[in-house]
Amino acid sequence: SGQVLAMKVISKRLLRRKAGYIENVQAERNILMRVNHPFVVNMHCSFQTKEKLFIIMDFLAGGELFLRLGREGIFLEKDAAFYLAEIILGVDHLHSLGVLHRDLKPENILLCNDGHICLTDFGLAKDFGPDWNADNADGERARTVCGTLEYMAPEMVARKGYSKAADYWSLGCIAYE
C-alpha cells in the first residue's frame, strides 16, 4: 500500500528472562486491539515467529513530545493547552475501556505529522476490563508500583492502591513541565 508503519520487535528469549514480561506484552497487545481513538496509537496487526513477537502500529513521524519540549524549552500556553486537551481525551478514552496507562510521560506521547498527539507504550498498562468502575468505593484498584518515578502519583509510591487519578497526576506533572 506504500503506507509507512512502525514495527515493535520483541525477542521471546528476553521475555522469558523475567517473570511478568510475557503477561505485559500480551496485555499491551490486547489493549491495543480494543483501542480506537485519534489520540491513541493504532495497532494494525500483531504476529509472531519462533523467536520474536511483532506489533505493527502507526508510524508517528513527529517524534516524542519529550524531544519537542527539549528543543523548544517551553511551550506557549496555547500549544500546551492544545496538547493537554488531546492527552485528556486519550486518557479518558482509555479509562472508559477500563485501562490505566500507568506510565504517562512526555516520552510516551508521540506527535503525528499533522501536529496532533498519540499516547503510546502500554507495556505497563493495567487492563481492568470494560466493566471496571474505579469511581465506586468498592472498585478494584491497582497496587503495583511501576512507571517513571518523576510522574508517579503519591498513592502509587505509598503503595496504597490507585486508580484513574494516578494517570491524571502524571498528566499534571506533564502540564507543569
Spatial separation of the C-alpha atoms in residues 51 and 13, rounded to whole Å: 7
**Active-site option among 58, 79, 103, 135:** 103
Around Cβ 82, how many Cβ atoms within 10 Å?
15
Question: Is 138 part of the annotated catalytic residue set?
Answer: no
Residues 6+ apart with CB under 8 A from 54: 7, 8, 9, 10, 46, 47, 48
Where are the strands (E) in 60-174, listed by range? 63-64, 99-100, 109-111, 117-119, 126-127
Residues with catalytic function: 103
